[in-house]
Structure 1
């Protein structure tokens, strides 16, 4: 400690104090207490604290006495530093024990409802959250809901797989259910509610090829657009943008007028599925229809497309499925990958481009794919290009 500080003795040997220059504790100056003693042959001085924080000479003397007795008997702590470290470690051990006890009792469903559900509902898209909640209600909760969170095992999770497989749920749905469980454990760990291993790591995910491969022919697309134009004009525009721009439904319903550059024929897609913004391009037909739509709607409307009373569109209108049924596009088709849904329009955009010789890399950029592997599903649609590449060997 600094030599210019004036220390005062107390009636307790080894206990002294200094006074604060300005601060008072009651009517007297605030006092800072320290203890001085021998440890391993050296004089050691350690601070105890201020009287304003509850420290009194007797308390300092008791601490000093404890340390001296421990030195004599070979016990610990023998210094104030050791005493503080032991107190901190004891507190951590206590917290660990309490957490362990808490983990033993709280069930999976309690973690879900009290901690996971509130943050997921506020942070995720409505469609994603509704899917998770449905999987929890039908498959996850019946299997592991009442089991203590820390005790859920791989066997318990296999029960979810088995139950879903018996009801002929797709591998993708099973994978989604297990991924939801995994997210619950990840959130619990981040919130310090659980410190064990994520049990989903021990589960083998079902193999699958859940990619949709169906796309529309030009005749089918035109027939579908014509029906939509009569049934639901706004949905017709939305479908047109997807077929000729490759946009996802969620990207379209989030568009604002400021994102549409009619002069350049460009569409800015902000915060897409892969979190990166990108540009799409308007065909002459898309530009014409969007301009006409703007003239018919409130120019201040946000977003461009909205549900009744200006509310945000959360899902594609039933009119789309009605139009598909009217054309009979899904008659006799059991494989869901071959069924026509709204997302089929985006696949149609990519498929048409590849059929017309557009390089896969370009298609990937226009689609907003994060990897070229996602676009390779369309490679078989360019047989003439592939055949032409091999003919160079004939020369």
Structure 2
């Protein structure tokens, strides 16, 4: 890799690669007390290191050599141990429950946040560091096709960083709340695509030979339940007498009742008998198989990052609510059936209702 001097005396950098992207590693050069040239590595551009900081370190070293003692700035820094992001993150994750979202956050922390901030004193973070981190995330590539992180993924990582910093401030690890400098992408990722009745029938037909997948699809499309709620259904959650199903909503941290159709009630009863269910209906997570069927049937020509049109399991919840609206179900009833905390989440389906203005438009003669 190339070696380059800078406009600042004694500060140079070498071209390097970090996570597949071009980077700079800064060094300083100076003469020691024996007049020998010394070269010290300071750090990478991607870690927030800049020429001015390198120059400051070089000047402090030269000053120490000249006067025979460390300048107050260096002495103070040495007395104070560097506070790493790791110390705050370890404490933060210790108080979180061991859930799938926690595992995802830990993975994002280790792959991105820890890598970038590992050698940076968190107490000295500033807006420049935060902006550099955001650009660093935008330039990361993965896979053989050099795909970049989706904006939603970057937002998730930035939000996790904000949460860790706020945790550090709240618990007296740090005083400077730099989370205010984090800027998120403005994303319109609301899913618009939902399955038609014909597509729903195709989905059932394609999964009918796998009683686990078939039942999960049936529950999702007849109750609007999220996959996490479905996978946590227990035998005693089903009230066959009143044809009710108790669902756990992990997003809203609540439980709610879903109505069972006669067909779904019978399917559940047969499944419990045939599988000798004692407790949980589903002992494993068949998410990959569920996704594979959806991809095969509906996503052949859809871009991987097209969240609006790609059919995923959550699209079944969207399908449930959309068809309720199309059938004229009152918006507040849809809110109750979806267990939405805020009516604003449900209002997106109002445009599908038969009384939403379709008749007025059809009466136009131009």
Aligned length: 278
Partners of 1:390 and 1:103 lie apart in 2 by 72
Partners of 1:380 and 1:199 lie apart in 2 by 41
Give the conservation status (yes or no) of the 8 Å contact 2:169–2:176: no
Q: In the alignment, what sits opposite 1:211?
A: 190
CA RMSD of superposed structures (Å): 2.6
Flag the structure with larger Rg.
Answer: 1
Relative distance call for 1:177 and 1:288 in structure 2 (3 A) is: same
TM-score of the pair, normalised by structure 2 = 0.69
Is the partner of 2:187 in helix, strand or coil? coil
Measure how far apart 1:258 and its partner are: 1.2
Q: In the alignment, what sits opposite 2:294?
A: 324
Give the conservation status (yes or no) of the 8 Å contact 1:245–1:280: yes
Q: In the alignment, what sits opposite 1:15?
A: none
Q: Map 1:44-123 onto structure 2 (within 5 A).
A: 105-112=82-89, 114-120=90-96, 123=97
Partners of 1:102 and 1:201 lie apart in 2 by 29
TM-score of the pair, normalised by structure 1 = 0.64
Give the conservation status (yes or no) of the 8 Å contact 1:109–1:146: no
State whether structure 2 residue 127 is matched by structure 1 residue 154: yes
Which whole-Å deviations, capped at 9, do the CAs of 1:154-180 have from their partners, x for residues lacking one? 222222322333354333222211110
Q: In the alignment, what sits opposite 1:345?
A: 316
Partners of 1:150 and 1:389 lie apart in 2 by 62
Q: In the alignment, what sits opposite 1:67?
A: none
Relative distance call for 1:353 and 1:103 in structure 2 (3 A) is: farther
Give the conservation status (yes or no) of the 8 Å contact 2:151–2:187: yes
Measure how far apart 1:372 and its partner are: 1.0
Partners of 1:208 and 1:387 lie apart in 2 by 28
Is the partner of 1:165 in helix, strand or coil? helix
Partners of 1:272 and 1:140 lie apart in 2 by 26
State whether structure 2 residue 207 is matched by structure 1 residue 228: yes
Q: In the alignment, what sits opposite 2:58?
A: none
Q: Give the unaligned 5+ runs of structure 2.
A: 1-76, 141-147, 362-366
Relative distance call for 1:206 and 1:266 in structure 2 (3 A) is: same
Q: Give the unaligned 5+ runs of structure 1.
A: 1-99, 308-312
Measure how far apart 1:229 and its partner are: 2.3
State whether structure 2 residue 298 is matched by structure 1 residue 292: no
Q: In the alignment, what sits opposite 2:108?
A: 135
Q: In the alignment, what sits opposite 2:334?
A: 363
Question: 248, 260, 268: which one pairs with 2:246?
Answer: 268
Partners of 2:255 and 2:165 lie apart in 1 by 31
Partners of 1:348 and 1:340 lie apart in 2 by 10
Measure how far apart 1:237 and its partner are: 0.7
Measure how far apart 1:252 and its partner are: 0.9
Give the conservation status (yes or no) of the 8 Å contact 1:153–1:199: yes
Q: In the alignment, what sits opposite 1:305?
A: 282
Between structures 1 and 2, the one with greater helix share = 1
Is the partner of 2:308 in helix, strand or coil? helix
Relative distance call for 1:138 and 1:183 in structure 2 (3 A) is: same
Q: In the alignment, what sits opposite 2:99?
A: 125
Relative distance call for 1:339 and 1:102 in structure 2 (3 A) is: farther
Is the partner of 2:355 in helix, strand or coil? helix
